[in-house]
Every structure is written in structure tokens, then in C-alpha cells.
Homo-oligomer: A and B are copies of this chain.
């Protein structure tokens, strides 16, 4: 059987040890046995987020937790700053509008990171802003933002600093508390290596004060219900038991290596891919490339979606395409979660094979050599 290599920025491959753990007979969630698992998961997540704040687990996709980060701290008519430099930044704005929150956009060219100074200026011009919403790694453009510097700026104001770390967590450096993040939003199917279905919010003391003042309606995503249940190491609504059990195993795998070592591994793979792209004469799309995912522009005359189709059908390698305005123009390769060196090497071989089939001219083997130099170096 041909091996398949899933290289998409979520879901990422789920290691076999985790899949086996999730395939055991199910247990009930209102039991001491499950409470112990849930406690380990919550403590483990805190280590990965690098926070001593509460971290809540929702049964939802990442968008559910993004919505939670809005409905729990805002009231109708509140003003927020939203950095819009890709699909996921834009989503924050869409959710806010659905709830009658006024959005002050900071529009950034897709593939660029926002200038921290621009956020400082917007905050100075709008002192009544309740929160700044942005992204660690904007998955749609494979761009990492300078959360540390932005955090320092927001910390000097009454505004909350709310960061979507869904695709960045465990691949790009992230330090929740040191960087002054009030709510960080995570997802299960990226660096955390389990299937989609869980999302997470860290919640700071500063954020809790906003929770008390918030008037937006909520029930399923209400932080207070999760906080209350947490006193009994429990969730307010039925937990996605098997996913939490898988997450316990994933966290064990990550924390046994140390999250910084895991990040270093993924960084190496990202750098190897950048070297391979260069050797092929292809450009990175992003001006601030993330270590979680790399976006590569195809040369003119080539359609990235055709390349992706060929890679999947003939080489068993799954890349992600560009979304919206980037459709057909880029392909995206992830380096997070269960994606390892074997994935990186085999997918570069396949990329060379597919490009050759499409008549693209390059020096055979050069990409692999360039990547190997970094991986083995």
C-alpha cells in the first residue's frame, strides 16, 4: 500500500500511539478516571501555552473559541481593533459584526505582518477600544505576526489583547504570560496532533474583569460555566471524551520532549522547505514566514491547484491550496504536529516529481539536497 503524507495546516497526521489510545473502549466523563485525564490535559495545555491562567476546553472547531473570545468580554456597541491580513483575521471581524460590535480594522496586505506601530497609533486615536484581536500565525498566508511587540503596546492600555494561536501553537514561539496575552485561542488539529473537534481559550485576570462587565448573550460558550465546572475538574457540557483522551497522549508526547524542542524540530523542517523552494527557484509568498506552515508561490503560467491535484493523485502527498484571492497562486505545506522529517523529505521528492511532470525546469535533486543539508546539519 502506498504511504500517504498529509502536509496540510490542519488536520495534521495523528500519530499511531494517539489513534490507538482513542480507539480503546469509551469511558464515562463523570468519573474520577476521566477527571484525572481532564486535569492532566488542562495542566499540560498550560505548559504548552506557557501560562498560569485558566485554560478552558470547548467541544467545537477553532471558530467556536474565537466566538467565545468575543461574546465573553464585550457588550453591544463596543469597539475593537481587528488585524485583517488573511482569512482568519477577517473572521474575527465577521463574528464581531454578527454581535453588534464595532470593528476598527487594521488592514494588512495578505502575506505581510502588521506593523506594531500602526496598532499603537490606532489605540491612541481610539482610547475607548475594548480589545485588540489578532493572530499568531495567519494560516491562510503562512505569516507570523510579532505578538511579543504588539503585546507590550496593548499592555500599556486598558484594552485586552486577544490572539488566535490555533495554527501557530507548538510550531511558532508563543509565550502567553510573558507576552501579555489576555485570551489565546487554540485548536486541536494543528500542533496538538489530534483530530479536529476541540478548541481552547486561556483567560487572564484582566480578561476576567471584562467577563464580569460583558453583556453579549452566550450560553454554550460561556466562560463562567467552564470556570465553575473546572472547580470540579469537569466541563459544563458533555466533553468530547475520546478527543480529550487523545490529547492527553499528545501532550505527553510533546512535554516528554519539551515544547521548545518540538518547536525547534518544526522550525528545522520549515527552514528545510524554504531552502528547497529556493533551490527550485520558487518564492515564499509571505514576507514574514511562519514556522508552522510555508506558503510557496508557483511561477507564472502554473496553477497551484493543478500541482496539488497531481501530488495527491500520483504521489500520495496532500498539500493545501490558497484560499480566496490566493486560490491557484500558492500551495501551503505545514510543519506542525505529526508532520516529521520523513514527511518533509518524501514530500520534497514528490514535489520535484510533480513539477517535472508539469514541465517545470529545475536542477533535479537540488531541492532535496538543500533540505537535507538543513535537516542533517
A residues bordering B, Cβ < 8 Å? 4, 6, 8, 10-11, 13-14, 19-20, 22-29, 31, 59-64, 67, 94-95, 98-100, 187, 189, 195-197, 216-222, 237-243, 312, 318, 320
Contacts and interface: CB of A to CB of B under 8 A. Distances in A.
A242 B61 contact: no
Contacts of A196: 29, 59, 238-241
Contact of A238 (B24, B189, B238, B318): B189
29 contacts: A4-B25, A6-B26, A10-B238, A11-B26, A11-B238, A11-B241, A14-B26, A19-B23, A22-B23, A26-B195, A31-B312, A31-B318, A59-B61, A59-B196, A61-B237, A61-B238, A61-B240, A62-B238, A63-B219, A63-B237, A63-B238, A67-B220, A98-B218, A98-B219, A98-B222, A100-B217, A187-B238, A195-B241, A217-B217
Contacts of A99: 217, 219
A38 to B, nearest CB: 13
**Residue among A25, A94, A220, A320 facing the most chain B CB atoms (10 A cut-off):** A220
Contacts of A22: 22-23, 242
A15 to B, nearest CB: 10
A216 B218 CA distance: 11
Main SS at interface, chain A: loop
Given A6-B27, A23-B20, A218-B98, A240 B197 contact: yes
A27 B100 CA distance: 37
A20 to B, nearest CB: 7
Nearest to A96: B219
A166 B312 CA distance: 39
Contacts of A95: 219-220
A63 B25 contact: no
**Residue among A23, A29, A189 facing the most chain B CB atoms (10 A cut-off):** A23
Contact of A6 (B25, B189, B217, B312): B25
Contact of A25 (B14, B31, B61, B197): B14
